[in-house]
């Protein structure tokens, strides 16, 4: 089969043997594969695949199960940038009826991440307020829609006025953090939950802004891996500061997240309340071009590879 391998600090098309599913797995003929920041980190050796996992990048796909013909999207530990992939059967979710295979191909990684961090770890409830940093990222655009659909209010920070306007169209109150202090802008509506991809000073500012009993969840540290924390503010506000990663977590935990998504989020997608945002589609053999475009940071939403 055709597949993408990491070589010389980039993505290169190669030929690999078709995977053979293990017990509890299914073989998927891949139609689309979503691109994620973790794939870029893997190139740099900063996010290696779990032991025993293929070195082929790609953490999410859509396609058809070879044995049954069922259209699914799947969360993977790796291997998605290929014509075929073996996936845990319990991490394969049906393609929601309103979505195309293309849209479903960019759904799993973001959906699992948001469900875990915003709704499980962050315990966001209807009527509460979520602050999303990086509102036009693949995770950000989906998090805004998921939170709104679950009855929450959403605030978002972005890197430009155009991006803030895009988030406003999705239903969030958004600001360009390069020209406006988000702390000042959102002071009247302090968030109950923060989904933070920045870290650094942003985390410090979040602590000063958050509501009583707020929950702060870190999923990346694009600004800085280290932050200064006002312990007194954490104590007085009774804040919870947590974070998580998804890749490499025990299968039992990932399967539990899949059940939560099927029960609570998939029905909302089928009602048309949540739609993944796709910026561009590249053919599999142009994965390096897709990587360069991804690295430029000019995209809004997700980038997808097509077989």
Residue 180, pLDDT > 90, answer yes
Angstrom distance (rounded) from CA 119 to CA 121: 6
Contact (CB, 8 A) for 273 and 145: yes
Angstrom distance (rounded) from CA 200 to CA 216: 13
Amino acid 31: pLDDT: 98
Best CA proximity match to 141, nearest among 159, 160, 164, 167: 167
Question: 84-142: per-residue pLDDT in tens?
Answer: 999 999 999 999 999 999 999 999 999 999 999 999 999 999 999 999 999 999 999 99
Question: 66-99: per-residue pLDDT in tens?
Answer: 999 999 999 999 999 999 999 999 999 999 999 9
Contacts 24+ apart (CB under 8 A), 247-253: 247/38, 247/47, 247/49, 247/50, 247/59, 247/77, 248/50, 248/77, 251/88, 251/90, 251/91
Residue 286, pLDDT > 90, answer yes
Amino acid 9: pLDDT: 87
Q: Per this entry, what is the length of the chain?
A: 307
Residue 248, pLDDT > 90, answer no
Amino acid 1: pLDDT: 98
The pair of structure tokens assigned to 273 is 């309340």
Confidence label for 283 from pLDDT (cuts 50, 70 and 90): very high
Angstrom distance (rounded) from CA 306 to CA 296: 20
Angstrom distance (rounded) from CA 194 to CA 203: 9
Contact (CB, 8 A) for 132 and 158: no
Amino acid 140: pLDDT: 98
Mean residue pLDDT across the chain? 97
Residue range 187-200: mean pLDDT, rounded:
97
Residue range 181-207: mean pLDDT, rounded:
97
Amino acid 154: pLDDT: 98
CA distances from 84 to 56, 98, 100, 159, 210 (A): 11, 24, 19, 37, 45
Amino acid 120: pLDDT: 98
Amino acid 108: pLDDT: 98
Angstrom distance (rounded) from CA 192 to CA 113: 18
Contact (CB, 8 A) for 35 and 283: no
Angstrom distance (rounded) from CA 221 to CA 277: 23
Angstrom distance (rounded) from CA 92 to CA 251: 12
Angstrom distance (rounded) from CA 28 to CA 21: 9
Percent of the chain with pLDDT over 70: 100
Residue range 265-286: mean pLDDT, rounded:
97
Contact (CB, 8 A) for 219 and 139: yes
Angstrom distance (rounded) from CA 93 to CA 17: 25
Amino acid 275: pLDDT: 97
Amino acid 46: pLDDT: 87
Amino acid 7: pLDDT: 92
């Amino acid at each position: 089969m055709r597949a993408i391998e990491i070589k010389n600090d980039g993505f290169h098309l190669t030929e690999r043997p078709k995977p053979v599913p293990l017990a509890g797995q299914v073989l998927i003929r891949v139609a689309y594969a979503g691109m994620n920041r973790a794939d870029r980190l893997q190139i740099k050796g900063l996010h290696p695949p779990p032991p025993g996992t293929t070195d082929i990048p790609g953490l999410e796909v859509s396609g058809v199960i070879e044995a049954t013909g069922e259209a699914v999207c799947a969360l993977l530990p790796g291997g998605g940038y290929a014509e075929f992939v073996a996936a845990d059967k319990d991490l394969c979710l049906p393609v929601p009826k309103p979505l195309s295979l293309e849209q479903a191909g960019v759904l799993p990684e973001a959906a699992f991440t948001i469900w875990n961090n915003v709704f499980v770890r962050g315990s966001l409830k209807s009527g509460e307020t979520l602050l999303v940093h990086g509102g036009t990222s693949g995770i950000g655009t989906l998090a805004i829609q998921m939170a709104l659909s679950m009855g929450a209010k959403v605030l978002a920070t972005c890197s430009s006025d155009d991006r803030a306007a895009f988030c406003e169209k999705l239903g969030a109150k958004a600001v360009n953090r390069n020209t406006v202090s988000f702390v000042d802008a959102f002071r009247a509506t302090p968030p109950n939950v923060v989904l933070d991809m920045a870290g650094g000073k942003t985390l410090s500012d979040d602590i000063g802004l958050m509501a009583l009993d707020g929950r702060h969840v870190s999923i990346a540290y694009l600004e800085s891996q280290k932050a200064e924390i006002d312990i007194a503010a954490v104590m007085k506000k009774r804040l919870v500061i947590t974070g998580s990663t998804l890749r490499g977590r025990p299968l039992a935990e990932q399967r539990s997240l899949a059940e939560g998504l099927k029960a609570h989020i998939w029905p909302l997608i089928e009602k048309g309340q949540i739609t993944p945002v796709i910026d561009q589609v590249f053919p599999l053999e142009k994965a390096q071009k897709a990587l360069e475009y991804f690295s430029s940071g000019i995209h809004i939403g997700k980038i997808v590879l097509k077989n």
